[in-house]
Amino acid sequence: MSIYYQDDYVTLIHGDCRDEDAWESAHLLLTDPPFGIAWTPRTGTAKHKAIVNDSDTAARDYVIGQWGHIKPAYVFGSPLLAPPHGTKQTLVWRKPGDAGLTGQIGGWRRDWEAIYMLGNWPHDARPLKSSVIATNVGTTTYQNGHAHGKPVALLEVLLMAAPGGTVADPFAGSGSTLIAARNVGRKAIGVEFEERYCETIARRLDQQCLNFEVGA
- Give pLDDT tens digits for 59-102: 999 999 999 999 999 999 999 899 999 999 999 999 988 777 77
Q: What's the pLDDT band for 139 if we cut at 50, 70, 90?
A: low
Backbone angles phi, psi at 133, to 5 degrees: -115, 120
Give the CATH number of the domain where residue 148 resides. 3.40.50.150
Residue 215 has pLDDT above 50, yes or no: no
Lowest-confidence segment of 29-38, 140-149, 169-178, 193-202 by average pLDDT: 140-149
Q: What's the pLDDT band for 216 if we cut at 50, 70, 90?
A: very low
Query: Domain count of the chain?
Result: 1
Check: CB of residue 69 under 8 Å from CB of residue 86.
Answer: yes
Q: What pLDDT, on the 0 to 100 scale, is given for residue 138?
A: 60
Q: What's the pLDDT band for 159 if we cut at 50, 70, 90?
A: very high
Beta bridge partners of 14: 192
CA 20 to chain centre: 18
Listed in sequence order, the residues at least 6 apart from 181 whose beta carbon sits closer than 8 Å to its beta carbon are: 9, 10, 30, 155, 159, 167, 187, 188
Instruction: Kindly state the average pLDDT of the residues 184-205.
Output: 97
Q: Which range of residues forms the domain containing residue 192? A: 3-215
Q: What pLDDT, on the 0 to 100 scale, is given for residue 102?
A: 73
Q: What pLDDT, on the 0 to 100 scale, is given for residue 30?
A: 99
Helix (H/G/I), strand (E/B), else coil: 25:
helix
